[in-house]
Amino acid sequence: MRKPTRDYMKIVNAYLNMNMPFQVSIIGFVQYYDTIYPILKLENCIKGRKFDITMQTGVHGDEAIGVRVVMNFLKDFKTKWLNYYNFTIFPCVNPYGYSFNVRKNGNKQIISRFEFWNNKNIDVPELQILGKHYPERPDIFIDVHGDTGKSKWYMYERRPINKESIAKLSLKENKKIAPFIQNATIYREICEDGVIVNPEHDKSIDDGMEFLGVPYVMVLEIPIKMDARLQIEGGVKILNSILKNHLKIMLESKFNLFKKKEEKVNG
């Protein structure tokens, strides 16, 4: 049997020993051959904030940059976000793929499918575990990936047409460190200003989140053909920009709604 490329237990131990304002729990185990892999979930120690956010990475094991970016985001976590967000974070959902630098799990299954919502007997071990722990309907869902064929950044964004694009705002704010694809066709989808808006339904997890009614669903694609330091720095900055812009849009929306009600009462 081939030896693993990476040591997944280093990831597990790093999170279990990291000084951060999150509770780390093992939500299940998957076993391939003679190795057992724990799957982790991170949550706020104190809940009850205004908005719920779910973040995950490591879906495709050959895109390890996502795992590193999320870890660095948490190492340098801005505690101000805890005033507004309840976090649920899955820092590596495909531990076998991560360990062996392969896209699929140990059963050679793609785990970025959402059929577990309508098929309780699905035979993908990771999805059996995740399906029990995904929050029912977060306000925002972020999936961090990497694209091995790209040298510039881009994002997928599923959102209501009448809502402002958080993805476009967040990419533009960081274009100096994270140059994005301007206008192109990426995998048969139209990309404008670095964003593929409301991509086709492909039974992916982000597609499933949209199906469940999550208002903002985003997939960040980190270009693999880029200096590793810039990948991490750009990824962390974009994640923070997503939170900042989401919060700004939500608070402005609530203020405008309050203002309209007040005008109606006074009118």
The residue type of 135 is: P
Residue 189 to residue 261: CA distance in whole angstroms: 40
Do 32 and 96 contact (CB within 8 A), yes or no?
Answer: yes
| Residue 7 neighbours by CB distance under 10 Å | 11
CB neighbours of 253 closer than 8 A, spacing ≥ 6?
none
Phi and psi at residue 232, to the nearest 5°: -70, -45
pLDDT of residue 233: 98
How many helices (H) does the chain have, and how many strands (E)? 7, 10
Do 193 and 155 contact (CB within 8 A), yes or no?
Answer: no
pLDDT of residue 46: 78
Write out the H or E segment, with its range, that includes residue 196. Answer: strand 195-197
Residue 203 to residue 205: CA distance in whole angstroms: 7
Do 178 and 230 contact (CB within 8 A), yes or no?
Answer: yes
Write out the H or E segment, with its range, that includes residue 85. Answer: strand 85-90
CB neighbours of 267 closer than 8 A, spacing ≥ 6?
none
pLDDT of residue 259: 47
| Stretches in the chain below the pLDDT threshold 50 | 116, 258-259, 262
| Residue 117 neighbours by CB distance under 10 Å | 15
Do 166 and 159 contact (CB within 8 A), yes or no?
Answer: yes
Residue 133 to residue 130: CA distance in whole angstroms: 5
Do 205 and 114 contact (CB within 8 A), yes or no?
Answer: yes
Cα-based torsion angle of the residue sequence 181, 200, 222, 31 in order, rounded to the nearest 10 degrees: -170
Nearest to 73 by CA among 246, 231, 251: 231
**Domains of the chain (ranges, CATH numbers):** 8-266 (3.40.630.10)
154-158 vs 216-223, strand pairing mode: antiparallel
pLDDT of residue 48: 75
pLDDT of residue 256: 57
Cross-strand partners of 192: 183, 195
pLDDT of residue 112: 79
